[in-house]
Chains A and B, each alone.
Chain A
Amino acid sequence: MAPASLALPPNARSWSLSFRAFQCWLTVYRRIWRSSIWSSVLGPICYIGALGFGLGTLVDKHGTASLGGVSYLAFVAPAILATGAMNTAVAEASYPVFGSLKWNRIYIGAQASPLRPADIFRGHLMFMTMRLAMNCAIVMVVMWAFGAIRSAWVVLAYPAAVLTGLAFAAPVAAWAVTVKIETSFNYIFRFVLIPLMLFSGTFFPISQLPAGLRALAYATPLWHGVALCRAFSLGTAPSDPIGMLGHVAYLSVLAAAGIWAGARTYRRRLYV
């Protein structure tokens, strides 16, 4: 028995191994998608309905020059798309990752197969991306149904929103696999997600913030995601191609960094 006969071509089948891990998540999801789909649909209806129409009626009465002259509904809906992507990403990348180590131990079972830690990570990330794609599509249908879309460029808001989600999912999953106690996740929810959701130009333009805070907002990923989705939904993107590329680059770098880090943190946690 020569060792050579055992050797896998290095990396050649890497994506197919990741895809096997992804299929596991699909099988699990087929059992629970019905319950998850309801919250995915009702969430955006509530947010876009309450903010776009409820709050929007008040805002629109006082003039919307600072919003760029569009209705509050058109202003806030793409931000809800990007924020929803962030929330989906963090929900899928936090407890499910931790649980796969500690609760149902999916990762531990998968580890005994040919899958390597990096395959297990990438397979789970594929599933997170699929969930992002599903939820973002639902939000876009709700936006359309509420008449919140102003431009055909909106089709590009869809990949933009998925990319925004991935820029959160990959780094959060890379970190979540290292978490020892689940209460750590509450810090992320309380001190990262909520401030980001409030101060990233989501519900009011960033120009309303004091200068210092504004600089901080520019540095956060959600602001880039919101700006990107909004520019496509309102159709203002073509007037600022450099800005758009900047947003895409920022989000891509963050996602790539997360994918790079996850392969390492998963290995460090699982292969000990």
Chain B
Amino acid sequence: MLGSSGSEVLVRARGLTKKFGSFTAVDGIDFDLYRGEAFGFLGPNGAGKSSTMRMIGCVSPPTSGELAILGADPVRNGPAIRARLGVVPQEDTLDVELTVRENLLVYGRYFGLPRRVIRERTAALLEFVQLADRANSKVDPLSGGLKRRLTIARSLINEPEILILDEPTTGLDPQARHVVWDRLFRLKQRGVTLILTTHYMDEAEQLCDRLVVMDHGRFAAEGSPRDLIARYCSPEVLEVRFDPDVHDAAADKLKDFSAERIEVLADRILLYVADGDAVLAAVRANGLEPLTSLVRRGTLEDVFLRLTGRRLED
């Protein structure tokens, strides 16, 4: 199946809907995922990202709408499709009583791989995630970052065409996150299609060729990180913070400055402007002295705020 851009469509959804009782988690979304791309679902908790991932992972039946994965129906061909997917779940499902190597063995057996093949792949995969020296350690004492890397190695045991990652770096420290990003980037270079959810804008910017901003089970916007920022955000953002006593009064006064848009958050005020330094100078000239100020470029966080009126990590 080829999409309009000429590359192969691996996942196709039309009007995809998931309901739990009267609650609609995913509300009729349409998308096409192409081979070789990294596609992100960005949104706050409860936006419907994980429900979408579970449907793509063939472990949750759609309530209505169409879904085709690798050209097949996930409800009828679940086992055959899952044999070609890799899944990195939000919470690790490693067996902590087993060793690193045994976790890969057990998982490889789930896919019906011969032990010899598992042995060979285990060596290469542990090398890839930089865990070769821990092959015979138990999983329990490993740090969160190492466990995540092991989960990634395990998800690759069947050499999947599509790797599904649900919040791949949530709960990791910054350094561990960068290692995970680096490995995922390499996988993408090798041609593995990545589908990931995240509520970190930096993660989406680092990894995704294309992403959708998801809120209340729907897509609020769709595009590359750069497109989305260009479309929904000013070139620069001026962040100012005032004494809580004068916060509201300052916010009122700032509305007079010709910002494209202004967002008043609980602890700071964001002004969407073309030239942050110039506006900051004008603010000061008018006798408003912020406690702190920061001029930065627009980010996906701003896009999200603009589209949904909420912050990502709330």
Contacts and interface: CB of A to CB of B under 8 A. Distances in A.
Pairing of A with B = yes
Interface of A: 1-3, 6-8, 16-17, 20-21, 23-24, 27-28, 31-32, 104-106, 108-116, 270-272
A16 B109 CA distance: 11
Interface in B82-123: 82-83, 85, 87, 89, 91, 93-98, 102, 105-107, 109-112
Interface in B1-44: 1, 20
Contacts of B158: 113
Interface centre among A3, A23, A115 (most CB of B within 10 A): A3
A2 B59 CA distance: 22
Contacts of A114: 79-80, 82-83, 110-112
A115 B79 contact: yes
B77 interface: yes
B89 A27 contact: no
Contacts of B96: 104
A1 B106 contact: no
B202 interface: no
Interface in B57-75: 57, 59-61, 70-73
21 contacts: A1-B1, A3-B71, A6-B70, A6-B77, A7-B77, A17-B79, A24-B109, A27-B98, A31-B97, A31-B98, A104-B95, A106-B95, A109-B94, A110-B110, A112-B59, A112-B87, A112-B93, A113-B83, A113-B111, A270-B59, A272-B20
A32 B95 CA distance: 13
Q: Is the interface of A mostly helix, strand, loop or mixed?
A: helix
B24 to A, nearest CB: 15
B264 to A, nearest CB: 40
Contacts of A27: 98, 102, 105-106, 109
B223 interface: no
Nearest to B113: A20
A24 B111 contact: no
Contacts of A2: 71
8 pairs of A and B residues whose beta carbons are closest in the complex: A109-B93, A113-B110, A112-B87, A114-B79, A6-B80, A105-B93, A1-B71, A6-B72
A58 B24 CA distance: 68
B235 interface: no
A113 B107 contact: yes
A32 B87 CA distance: 28
B81 interface: yes
Given A1-B1, A28-B97, A270-B59, A21 B110 contact: yes
B220 to A, nearest CB: 26
A109 B107 contact: yes
A234 to B, nearest CB: 42
B72 A20 contact: no
A215 to B, nearest CB: 43
Contact of B59 (A1, A21, A271): A271
A271 B61 CA distance: 7
Contacts of A7: 72, 76-77, 80
Contacts of A110: 110
Interface centre among A6, A23, A28, A104 (most CB of B within 10 A): A6
B78 interface: yes
A21 B93 CA distance: 15
B109 A20 contact: yes
Nearest to A115: B110
Contacts of A17: 79
